[in-house]
Amino acid sequence: MRIKSIEISNMFFNPLKTWAEKSTENWNMLVGSSLLLLLVGAILVYVYQRKLGKADERTNQIYFKSALIMLCAIIFGDLIFPKEYMWQIFFLFKYSLAFLASGIYLAIRYKKDFSQFI
C-alpha cells in the first residue's frame, strides 16, 4: 500500500522536481510562490479573525473549526507531498494550503454570518 502511494506521489511531483532543478530561477520562482501563498493565507486568517471579533461562545466554535480545517490540511499535505526530495518547498506549500483553507473557511463563515447586515 505504501509503495503505491510513493509511486503516485512521484508521478505527480517528479516533473515539478525536474523543472525546479533545471535552473536557479525556476527554484527561486517556486520558493517565491510558496512564500507568497503563505503570506496571503496568513493575512487572510488574521484579517477575518479580527473581523469576527473577540472570542465568545459563538466565535470560539468558528475558531476551533478553522483550526480543525488547518490541521486536516496539514495532515493531507503530509500524506500527498513526497518526503524524499524538495521537502522544504513542500513544507511551505503544505502550510500555505493550510492557512489558505482556514482563511477561506473564515471568509465564507464571515460572509454567511454578516451578510444580512451588509
pLDDT tens digits along 37-47? 999 999 999 99
In this predicted structure, what is the pLDDT of residue 58?
82
How far does CA 104 lie from the centroid of its chain? 10
**Per-residue pLDDT tens over the stretch 51-67:** 888 878 888 898 999 99
Neighbours of 46 (CB within 10 A): 13
- For the chain, helix (H) and strand (E) counts, in that order, are 4, 0
Considering Cα of 92, then 78, then 106, then 112, what sign does the dihedral take?
positive
CB contact set of 53 (below 8 Å; sequence gap of 6+) = 59
Cβ–Cβ contacts within 10 Å for residue 34, how many? 20
pTM attached to this predicted model: 0.83
- Asked if the model's pLDDT at residue 2 lies above 70, the reply is no
Q: How far is CA 35 from CA 42, 62, 93, 95, 116, in A?
A: 10, 26, 8, 10, 35
Q: Give the mean pLDDT of 72-91.
A: 87
